[in-house]
Amino acid sequence: DNPENPPIVQWRSHANLLFVNWLNYFVYQQTPYNIRRIQELGDL
């Protein structure tokens, strides 16, 4: 607890993993790549 020492940033890798997993699931896995299926989604 020395105020002279800078904080150790350990959450950066966890935040990166969370964002990459979110991006993979909600963007890449849920995107219909068949252009005909885009109309089925309606208004998001």
Residue 36, Cβ density class (10 Å: 0-12 exposed, 13-18 middle, ≥19 buried): exposed
State mean pLDDT over 13-28.
87
Q: For the chain, what percent of residues have pLDDT higher than 70?
A: 95
According to the model, what pLDDT value does residue 44 have?
61
State mean pLDDT over 3-20.
84
Contact 38, 29 (CB under 8 A): no
| Domain regions of the chain by residue span | 11-41
State mean pLDDT over 5-31.
84
| pTM exceeding 0.85 | no
